[in-house]
Amino acid sequence: MFYLIIIVFTVLSMIVSARLKSKFKEYSQIPIGMTGAQIAEKMLRDNGINDVKVISTPGALTDHYNPANKTVNLSDWVYAQNTVAAAAVAAHECGHAVQHAHAYTWLGFRSKMVPALSVSSKLMPWLIMGGIFLYYSSGNAMILIAGIAMFALTTIFSFVTLPVEFDASNRALKWLDGAGILNRLEHDKAKNALKWAAMTYVVAALASLAQLLYYISILNNRRD
């Protein structure tokens, strides 16, 4: 069952990832009048945010907002390109900056989870593997329960991430529409690109939940 879960969600993740890359490649061929960096800077200004810097970061799809140092980090191609895809990504990441400035509840909750998650993610695999072995060999479930509890934290984090990502996209699309940067067709394409980006988070959350339920079933089945 465990391997079936892994295979199903790995294949699903690959499909979504391939679709995402395909859409971004397609929409990276549609030029507009501003680069991703210019769009990010304008969106921040329009929202009255003056203490966030827009910087370039190496790699592809490495775009993110860092609340710790208040930077919108855009991958090289998003930063420099003047395309629909770059506009969608840049505005989305600025959506997180707007969330931060407005103390968006789910973003704050997710940020508070990060320290605990960084610790549990390192210990959790060892506790689960060692816990399963110990549970089946001696019946002692304490280590396995601790591992499952840590895994549950990562699952919760995955689901908390969903409203954060969807809200950032909604803020981005609303601003892009109001600012008049994209025409209706370009706006629809930007919306489609962000939809597929969000789907990667949905698949990751569902995969984490399925894996968590599997670990819980091991605990219950052994007890039965």
What are the catalytic residues?
93
> By C-alpha distance, which of 88, 105, 108, 106 is closest to 174?
88
The set of residues, in sequence order, having a beta carbon less than 8 Å from that of 25 and lying 6+ positions away, is none
Query: Is there a contact between 123 and 150 (Cβ–Cβ < 8 Å)?
Result: yes
Q: What is the side-by-side strand order in the sheet with 71-75? A: 53-57, 71-75, 64-66
Q: CB under 8 Å to 56, separation ≥6 — which residues?
A: 37, 73, 74, 75, 76, 79, 80
How far apart are the C-alpha atoms of 210 and 208, rounded to whole Å?
5
Q: Report which of 62, 67, 61, 104 is spatially closest to residue 53, judged by C-alpha positions.
A: 67
Residue whose C-alpha is closest to residue 35's, from 14, 16, 56, 61: 56
Give every CB contact of residue 165 below 8 A, 6+ residues apart in sequence. 197, 198, 201
